Chain A
Amino acid sequence: MANEKSVASSGGSMTFTLETAHEHVSDVIKAIPESLTAFRCPLCGKSFVGYGELERHYALEHPEDVVPVIIVLQLNGKACEVLIEPHWTLQRTLQFRLGLTGAKHMCGKGVCGSCTVIADGRCILACQTLAVELEGVEIQTVEGIAADPKWKTLIDSYCRWDAMQCGYCTTGFLVTAKALLDRNPNPTEEECKEALAGNICICGTYPRHATAIMEAALKMSQPPEPPAAQGFGGFGGPGGFGGPGGPGGPGRRPPGQPS
């Protein structure tokens, strides 16, 4: 069941920067429940203190229904015990049992990529994959990626290039991009597009993703910049997405630094 942290609004009066978002998502990861404390019948809502009682309840009250199962998911580096019905998808399990909503429900048919997660290094669609199939598989969601400092650069690039508008599909793109960079740390624009071919963005942000990914790849391949370094110059030219100036600019104070 969802925890308080995951239910809290991410909008109300909160300021998000790369750092605060990283801290917040790290807290969300920490708050994922690892062991079961309640055994609730998904059919009628009655609660029991142990799985055995739940099984007996099914035998008596719902003899024709399939008894929920307990599985252990290796999720974002944690072993998480969940009680689900066998037909539950991973997307449903993440949202309704573990409080993770980064894998979004959009199409429900494996077309849009909004629910993408990484399983043993491969992108899979959480709306089309039964959770029970994934025991023993290392699963990484967008929250796990965002909590890993290594991927701050990718997230920052996505945000500074507006590689999102309404933002609903963004996490699916970002997970796919991370999987791409895992296997190809220096992708071309065409390789980025091919990797993202299974992700649909209704808002039409497509041209921005390759730009963000390639910028992140370039930065990640270089030694860390000194704090006062200029920002990335951008991909200019006709049809490109840069135009005048990258995130930096002459005479600009570093963010948050008093003048």
Chain B
Amino acid sequence: MADLVGVNGQRESFRVVGRHNLPGKLSYALATGIAKFGIDYVMPDMLHAKFLRSPYANARVTRVDTSRAWKVPGVVDILTWEDEDIKNLVSRGESFGPSRPWLDTLADTEGQEVAVIVVAESEDMCERALRELDVTWEVMPHIVDVMAGRDSEAPVIRPEVRDTPVFGAPGMGPVNPPKQGNVAFSNTVSGDIDKGFAEADYIVEYELRLPPFASHMPNPSGSVAWWEDSVYGGEGKDLHIEGAVRERRAIADMYDVPLEKTIQDGLFMGGKYCDWGLRKSQEVTPLLAKRTGRPVRCVNTREETFDFIMKERFMQLKVGFTKDGLITAIDDHSIADGGSWGSSSFGTTGDLTMGPYNSFKCQNVRQQMEIVDTNRGLMFVSGQHCPFNWDIGTMAIYLISEKLGMDPIDVAQLNLHGPDSQDDTRPVPSFDACIDAGRKLMDWEPHRAGEKRLPDGRLHGASFRYQMCPRHSFSGYDAKLELRDGVVHLPTQGPLFGVYAVECNAMVVAEELGLEYEDIAIDFDYREKFTPVGGGSDGTTASAWVMKECANVLKREILEATVEQIKNPPAPSMFGGFGFGGPPQADPFEGVVSADELDLVDGKVCLKADHSKGKPLRAAVSANLFATYSGRPPTALWAQGMGKKLDTMNTAYCEVAVDEETGEVEILRFGVVADPGKVLRPTSLESQIDQVMFFSQGCQLLEDYIYDPKTGVKLNNNMIDYKKPGILDVPRVDREFLETRAGNAAYGSNGISHSLANSHLVIIAIHNAIGVWVDPPATPDKVLLALGKC
């Protein structure tokens, strides 16, 4: 059992942790409509702002005449890239890609903010003013087809950019070649590829496309800002910014405002799962509010909120393996959309150091990646995606199983290395437990492609994959707890973005202090330091570990304060002698001299030797106490080798039925057996699993970005033409949780983090049904085409 360094990491009995149906601490605000998201704020005398957005995929503004726009009624301010206030703006949020002016004249994707901002009495007037701008555009060639962008004859869309990141894996292979045209390179090599292929009995090769996937934040990005006289006086005004949740410091730094004078009451982020990038509409309002002296609101439309959460990529795989199914060599060539300015290494080269290859015994692996500059769109940081090459690893296992007529689970088990290293041949207990449970859950009976027909005549397919249950390991946490007037308070800045992380921490505090979940008062306050963000979708297990330590610091303080109160009781009430309250009670703590003799159980301070003798917490301790703990749990095993060491694992399954006449694919069910180590908050863990399975369904059956090749315009950046799964679309998800306690965050937990989203689980099941490949999204027309029926 892991979590050996923390207090009570080995706890065996749980009263609060692991309980279902404990409501979120702000759920009642959300359900009743009183929760305020950033764009909900409406201030008296508020102005609105809009950016000029490029109608072209790649163009530069060479001149703009604003004179007609200024004549539009209600226009209060117009700024261009030439204004000093704009020139001085520097984003302080997380950003990637080459440095460029905050408001550029260059737009390298259609719809990008460029050159001009208009401020007016209403959004309607902003739009009217934008239509009155006289803009001269220099339209340049664009690339929205990733494969076309690789062509040596393709126009080079960013010739002046010299610092396009070319990530590599130092020490893992030859120096990456220099950028050529639109293409940068990142290569890694380990072992001896030629020797590995020479040892192989079979070689399979395959190509696949992974479609792009929209981040699709439910709440369009935006902010409202205003300046106000400081509540406490002093120089300068306070900046009030709503809608850039979690980014108060970035905004404060951007405008050189002390953090204590930067106010952000709203805590609700909306569905920003690991998308921490600040949009310009979230950054610009303080400037506009300062210039106009009025509150300013700037909000993107839905069409302007269609950033990637996963970019398109193409992969070619060559795998060598023995007649037993043991992989001997992997040669992986991928072509990734580098996207436009703002793209990150996530989803491209950052994934080269992760993925399934590190979980294989085979160490002869070459990965060659091309990152192609395009004008397709933006991706901010990371998203709810799995490192992409898990898909191709899943594919390799399926191809081997098809070739040899083996169960893919057996192929995976054969190739998975042991807990400690790629040379470790021992089984991984968590994996074995997952597949045992998975086989039962799914009534697993694998068959070769095209061999099983359902009673209704449709073809049946099934697929399997495994993944690690990784845990975020790179953040530290500053936890604070307070006993105030007999109530335990957990102060936190939030934020609230859907994983119930704060609640999970409160459950751990209640567990450690012998209290109930409802007893823990969570004080949401933007000024507080503690934020439980940081991976591990089971409520952020790493922060819960820190909070567990903090709770035990507070517990010790409570018990010591109890002893102090025994020695030095508070003065009796002036009414004590008048008979109120009945005869004096015998003191259960009589003779106690040390905190070691006491415990906290079921809301009472009691004798360790006899839990029936005690006092309610409020009566035992009248002192107000603080406890703090800064730190983090030991680095997760996953992060110590990105898969070269294994502890907690998960497996996922999919069954489909394919109608050969209509091309319709029905997902009969998903199955997930996950071992997060220890389940902390099961209700939200279940939801997180449902979410990623529905993500998988969406990107494999429904979702894609469609571009007009001639103009580079995105054609479906709206919720009608870009179809997300609805309640009638989603299949059943059967889930089972295992608790091996093999993680090293709170109580041996790790969580599930991004580990389940996968774009090929359904696609493989479709192949298993019909025997031919369909590139995602597998819409009926593509299925029929693959079957040669249209």
Q: Chain A: residues with CB nearer than 8 A to chain B? A: 1-2, 6-18, 20-22, 24-25, 28, 41-45, 61-62, 85, 95-96, 99-109, 111-112, 114, 141-143, 146, 155-156, 158-162, 164-171, 174, 193-194, 196-209, 231, 234, 238-239, 241-247, 249, 251-253, 255-256, 258-259
**Complex interface: chain A residues within 8 A of B720 (CB):** 107, 109, 111
Which residue on B lies nearest to A241, using beta carbons? B686
B44 interface neighbour in A2, A107, A203, A243, Cβ under 8 Å: A2
Q: Mark B515-531, 1 if CB is under 8 A from A, else 0.
A: 01010011111100000
Q: Is B523 touching A13 in the complex (CB atoms < 8 A)?
A: yes
Cα A16 to Cα B29 in complex, Å, equals 6
14 inter-chain pairs at a CB distance below 8 angstroms, sorted by A residue, are A9-B36, A42-B122, A85-B124, A102-B34, A107-B302, A109-B718, A111-B720, A158-B27, A159-B31, A169-B218, A202-B271, A203-B687, A252-B516, A259-B603
**Complex interface: chain A residues within 8 A of B302 (CB):** 106-109
A-binding segment of B334-342, B496-504, B764-772? B496-504
- Tell whether A102 pairs with B22 under 8 Å between CB atoms, given A7-B42, A11-B268, A12-B524: no
B265 interface hit (Cβ, 8 Å): yes
Cα A45 to Cα B293 in complex, Å, equals 14
Q: Mark B720-739, 1 if CB is under 8 A from A, else 0.
A: 10001111101011100000
CB of B38 to closest CB in A, whole Å:
11
Q: Is A165 touching B526 in the complex (CB atoms < 8 A)?
A: no
B568 interface hit (Cβ, 8 Å): no
Cα A158 to Cα B32 in complex, Å, equals 10
Q: Is B301 touching A108 in the complex (CB atoms < 8 A)?
A: yes
Cα A108 to Cα B25 in complex, Å, equals 30
B470 interface hit (Cβ, 8 Å): no
Which residue on B lies nearest to A127, using beta carbons? B302
Besides A6-B42, A158-B27, A162-B23, 10 more A-B contacts (Cβ < 8 Å) are: A10-B26, A10-B29, A11-B266, A16-B26, A62-B73, A166-B272, A199-B726, A202-B216, A207-B733, A247-B22
For chain B, residues 24 to 66, give those with C-beta under 8 angstroms from any C-beta of chain A: 24-37, 39-44
Which residue on B lies nearest to A96, using beta carbons? B42
Q: Is A208 touching B516 in the complex (CB atoms < 8 A)?
A: no
**Complex interface: chain A residues within 8 A of B638 (CB):** none
- Tell whether A167 pairs with B35 under 8 Å between CB atoms, given A242-B20, A249-B19: yes
Q: Is B727 touching A21 in the complex (CB atoms < 8 A)?
A: no
Looking at A108, A198, A204, A242, the one whose CB has the most chain B CB atoms below 10 A away is A204
Cα A119 to Cα B684 in complex, Å, equals 33
A-binding segment of B186-194, B453-461, B688-696? B688-696
Q: Is A146 touching B218 in the complex (CB atoms < 8 A)?
A: no
CB of B142 to closest CB in A, whole Å:
27
B269 interface hit (Cβ, 8 Å): yes
CB of A233 to closest CB in B, whole Å:
10
B438 interface hit (Cβ, 8 Å): no
Q: Chain B: residues with CB nearer than 8 A to chain A? A: 15, 19-37, 39-44, 73-74, 76, 121-122, 124-125, 216-220, 265-272, 301-302, 441, 494, 496-500, 516, 518, 521-526, 602-604, 616, 618, 669, 682-684, 686-687, 690-695, 718-720, 724-728, 730, 732-734
B32 interface neighbour in A1, A143, A206, A251, Cβ under 8 Å: A143
**Complex interface: chain A residues within 8 A of B39 (CB):** 105
Which residue on B lies nearest to A107, using beta carbons? B719
Q: Is B216 touching A159 in the complex (CB atoms < 8 A)?
A: no
Q: Is A259 touching B616 in the complex (CB atoms < 8 A)?
A: yes
Looking at B499, B516, B669, B733, the one whose CB has the most chain A CB atoms below 10 A away is B516
**Complex interface: chain B residues within 8 A of A166 (CB):** 218-219, 268-272, 496-498
- Tell whether A158 pairs with B31 under 8 Å between CB atoms, given A95-B40, A206-B727: yes
Cα A235 to Cα B511 in complex, Å, equals 26
Which residue on B lies nearest to A25, using beta carbons? B32
CB of A215 to closest CB in B, whole Å:
10
Q: Is B718 touching A202 in the complex (CB atoms < 8 A)?
A: no
**Complex interface: chain B residues within 8 A of A164 (CB):** 24, 27, 30-31, 498
Q: Is B36 touching A11 in the complex (CB atoms < 8 A)?
A: yes
Cα A22 to Cα B693 in complex, Å, equals 35
Cα A239 to Cα B734 in complex, Å, equals 5
- Tell whether A162 pairs with B684 under 8 Å between CB atoms, given A12-B526, A167-B30: yes
- Tell whether A246 pairs with B33 under 8 Å between CB atoms, given A21-B28, A162-B683: no
Cα A120 to Cα B267 in complex, Å, equals 34
Of all A-B residue pairs in the complex, the 4 with the closest CB atoms, nearest first, are: A102-B33, A9-B265, A167-B30, A165-B498
Cα A109 to Cα B718 in complex, Å, equals 8
CB of A229 to closest CB in B, whole Å:
15
Cα A114 to Cα B526 in complex, Å, equals 27
Which residue on B lies nearest to A110, using beta carbons? B720
CB of A42 to closest CB in B, whole Å:
5
CB of B730 to closest CB in A, whole Å:
5
